[in-house]
Amino acid sequence: MFKRVSPYIGEYKKYTVWAVILMSIGIIANVTPYFFIYQIIAPLTRGEHIDASYILIRVIAVAICEIIFSVSYVQGLEFSHISAYNTLKNLRISLQSKLERQPLGNINELGTGRIKKVFTDDIDQVELLLAHAIPEGIANIAIPMIIIVLMFIFDWKLGLLSLVPLVVGMFAMGMMMKSGLEKMNAYYESAAKMNNTIIEYVNGMEVVKVFNKDGDSYKRFGERVKDYRDFTLDWYKVCWPWMAIYSSVLPCLVLLMLPLGSMMVLGGVVTLDRMVLVFCMSFAVGPSFLKALNFAGKFPQLDYKIAELEKMMEHPPLKEGESAFKGDNLDVEFKDVHFGYDDAEVLHGVNLSFKQGTTTALVGESGSGKSTLAKLLVHYYDIDSGTITVGGQDITDMSLEALNDQVSFVSQEQFLFNTTLYENILIGKPNATREEVLEAARRAQCNEFIARFPDGLDTQAGDGGKQLSGGERQRISLARAILKDAPIIVLDEATAFMDPENEEKMNAALDEIVKDKTVLVIAHRLSTIKNADKICVMKEGNCIAADTHDKLIISCPEYKKLWDASVSASTWKVREA
C-alpha cells in the first residue's frame, strides 16, 4: 500500500522518515518514566533506605522524559502532516492530469459522484496513512515489542504472561479484518452509488419538479441511502464482536499481571522488585498496541480506496501524439471510421473529406451520428478503426494542443465556467487583450444582452452559466471561438432551440465566424446550409451521400425527405461561393 502511494510522496519522503524517528523517540520517552518509577519503588519493596536527592533526580528525569515526549511527538506529527498533505496535493494534481488525458466517454462512465468521492474522500484517506498510520503505527508497534523483549530479559515467566493478551488481541484483530473484508467492498460500492444518486438527484431537480416526479426520484434516493445504512451496519455487525474483544483484552495485561504476578511473588517464583518493574512496564504495552492495531484495522479500507484511485488512473489515456501540426493545408479526411461509445458501434465506416476553406454540412435524422462525428474530429474519443487526418496528418499523431490550435468546436451543449463572462470568453485565447475580447463579444452579437447587466462583461456567469439563457450561452461560446480564431471550425447545431430573434443574432454571429474558414456545420434547419459546398447525409451511422444541395435533392431520396421536412426557413445562409 505504501509502495503505491510512495511515488507521490516524492521529495517529502524524508519528512515521513523523520516523523517515524521522532515519534519513536517520543514513545521511548513516554515509557522510560516507568523505569525511574521502578527505581524508586524497588528499594522501598526491599525495605532499603533512599534519600530525597535520589528521588528528586528521578522525578526530574521523569519530567524531562515527558518534555521530550511532547516535543518530539508534536514535531513528528508536524513532519508527518507536511509529508501527507503534500502527497495529497501531488495525488490530486496527478489524477487531474490523467483525467484530462482520458477520453470524455470514460469520465462520463465513471460518474461525477465517483470522481468526486475519489478526488476528495478517498484521497483524504491517504492523510490517515501517511500522517498517522505509518509514523504512529510503526512507533506504537516497535515500542511494545521492545518492552516485551525487556520483560523477557528481566523475567521470562512474566514476559510469557505478558504475551497472552497480545496473542488473543491479535487473533481477534485478524478475524475482524478477515470477516470484514467481504462486507467492506459491498459497503464501498453502496457508498459510491449513494454519492452518484445524490448528485444526479440534485442535478436533475429541475426535471423532477417539472414532471412532478418528486416521489419517484425521492424513492430511488431514499433506497440508496437506506442501502448504504444497511451495508454499513452489516459491516459493523461482523466487525463489532472482534473489535470488542481486542479492545478489552489488550489493556488487560495489568489485570492478568496483578493476580498471577502476585501469586508468583508469594510462591517465590519471582522477586517482588522484578514483578513491580514488569508490572510498571505492562502499563505501556496494552495502549500502544491497541493504537497500532486500530491503524491496522484501517489498512483494508485504505487498500480499497487506493486501489479505486489507481483504477481511475489506470484507464488508458487518449492516444495522443507529441508532434506539432505538420500539415501544409487544412483538408480534413475521415477514412473508414468505426466508432462506438461502448460495445455498440455508432459509426460504421464513415468516409468523408472536405477541402480547406470550404463549408461542409452534416445532415441526418436525430441519432444518426452527426455530433459523434464532430466530436471525433476534435479528438474527444479515440476511434475504434480507420483514420481521421487534418492536412494529411493523423490527429492521433499530434498533441491535443496542436489539434486544438487548428480546430474550434462550438458544441451542442454549452458550458460556461462559474466566473465572469469576460473570463469565459478569454478561454479562447488567454493572452488576448481586453479590446480583443470586447471585439469578439461584439462580433458574436453579445453586446445587446451584456448591456443589460450592470457589470457588463464582468458579470458572473453563475454555476455552469445558469445566469444566461441558452441562446446567450451559445453566443458567449461563439465569442470564445471567434477570439480563438482557429482555421477549422466545427459547429454543432448552434442554432437549435432558438427563438427567431435569437436565431437571427446567432446567424449574424455565425457569418462572422465562418469567414475564410474551413467549416464543418451541423444544422437541423436545412435552409441554413443549402449553400454549403458539400452536404453529407448521415443515416444510422453511415455517410450515405455527399454532394451539393442541388445534386442531392435529385439523387438522394433521404436528403429530399429531410429537405421537405425541414421546418421554417432560417435567415442565415452559408455565404454564396
Ligand X SMILES: Nc1ncnc2c1ncn2[C@@H]1O[C@H](COP(=O)(O)OP(=O)(O)OP(=O)(O)O)[C@@H](O)[C@H]1O
406 touching ligand X, by CB under 6 A: no
Sole window of 6-14, 23-31, 91-99, 362-370 interacting with ligand X (rule: CB under 6 A):
362-370
Pairwise CA distance, residues 361 & 370, whole Å? 10
Pairwise CA distance, residues 77 & 18, whole Å? 10
The answer to whether 482 and 440 have CB atoms below 8 angstroms apart is: yes
Complex with Mg ion: residue 371 or 502, whichever CB lies closer = 371
Sole window of 12-20, 24-32, 238-246, 361-369 interacting with ligand X (rule: CB under 6 A):
361-369
The least distance separating ligand X from the CB of residue 375, rounded to whole angstroms, comes to 8
Pairwise CA distance, residues 485 & 488, whole Å? 9
Site track 96-135 with ligand X (rule: CB under 6 A), x = hit: ---------x--x---------------------------
Type of residue numbered 175: M
Complex with ligand X: residue 291 or 379, whichever CB lies closer = 379
Residue 252: what are its φ and ψ, rounded to 5°?
Answer: -85, 0
Complex with Mg ion: residue 371 or 518, whichever CB lies closer = 371
Complex with ligand X: residue 12 or 381, whichever CB lies closer = 381
| 551: nearest Cα among 567, 536, 566 | 536
Cα 20 to its chain centre, rounded Å, is 29
Q: Which 173-212 residues touch ligand X, going by CB under 6 A?
A: none
Complex with ligand X: residue 81 or 348, whichever CB lies closer = 348
The least distance separating ligand X from the CB of residue 382, rounded to whole angstroms, comes to 14
The least distance separating ligand X from the CB of residue 496, rounded to whole angstroms, comes to 8
366 touching ligand X, by CB under 6 A: yes
Q: How is residue 87 annotated by DSSP?
A: H
Site track 58-97 with ligand X (rule: CB under 6 A), x = hit: ----------------------------------------
Residues shown for the chain: 577
The SS3 assignment for 505 reads: helix
Q: Which 285-344 residues touch ligand X, going by CB under 6 A?
A: 341
The least distance separating ligand X from the CB of residue 418, rounded to whole angstroms, comes to 24
Pairwise CA distance, residues 553 & 557, whole Å? 7
The answer to whether 573 and 523 have CB atoms below 8 angstroms apart is: no
Strand order in the sheet with 542-547: 407-410, 488-492, 518-522, 359-364, 534-539, 542-547
Sole window of 196-204, 212-220, 366-374, 568-576 interacting with ligand X (rule: CB under 6 A):
366-374
| 350: nearest Cα among 359, 363, 337 | 337
Type of residue numbered 226: K
Sole window of 31-39, 270-278, 365-373, 566-574 interacting with ligand X (rule: CB under 6 A):
365-373
User: Using CB atoms, what's the residue nearest to Mg ion?
Assistant: 371
346 touching ligand X, by CB under 6 A: yes
The least distance separating Mg ion from the CB of residue 360, rounded to whole angstroms, comes to 16
The least distance separating Mg ion from the CB of residue 108, rounded to whole angstroms, comes to 15
Burial class (CB in 10 A: 0-12, 13-18, 19+), 249: buried
Complex with ligand X: residue 236 or 497, whichever CB lies closer = 497
The answer to whether 488 and 405 have CB atoms below 8 angstroms apart is: no
Rule CB under 6 A: choose which of 204, 222, 316, 367 binds ligand X.
367
The least distance separating ligand X from the CB of residue 364, rounded to whole angstroms, comes to 6
Complex with Mg ion: residue 375 or 517, whichever CB lies closer = 375
144 touching ligand X, by CB under 6 A: no
Complex with ligand X: residue 7 or 367, whichever CB lies closer = 367
Q: Which does 102 bind (CB under 5 to 8 A by kind): Mg ion, ligand X, none?
A: none
16 touching ligand X, by CB under 6 A: no
Computed from CA positions of residues 88, 93, 98, 99, in that sequence, does the dihedral angle turn out positive or negative? positive
Pairwise CA distance, residues 541 & 395, whole Å? 21
371 touching ligand X, by CB under 6 A: yes
Pairing, β 385-390 against β 332-339: antiparallel
The least distance separating ligand X from the CB of residue 191, rounded to whole angstroms, comes to 25
Q: Which does 70 bind (CB under 5 to 8 A by kind): ligand X, Mg ion, none?
A: none
End-to-end CA distance of the chain: 65
384 touching ligand X, by CB under 6 A: no
The least distance separating ligand X from the CB of residue 115, rounded to whole angstroms, comes to 16
Sole window of 2-10, 71-79, 134-142, 367-375 interacting with ligand X (rule: CB under 6 A):
367-375
H helices of 46-133, in order, are 52-100, 104-110, 112-116, 123-127
Complex with ligand X: residue 105 or 386, whichever CB lies closer = 105
Kindly give, in sequence order, each residue whose CB lies less than 8 Å from that of residue 449, ignoring residues fewer than 6 positions away: 468, 472, 475
Pairwise CA distance, residues 232 & 223, whole Å? 14
Pairwise CA distance, residues 351 & 337, whole Å? 7
Q: How is residue 117 annotated by DSSP?
A: I
Site residues for Mg ion per CB under 5 A: 371
Sole window of 151-159, 181-189, 370-378, 450-458 interacting with ligand X (rule: CB under 6 A):
370-378
Q: Which residues bind ligand X (CB under 6 A)?
A: 105, 108, 341, 346, 364, 366-372
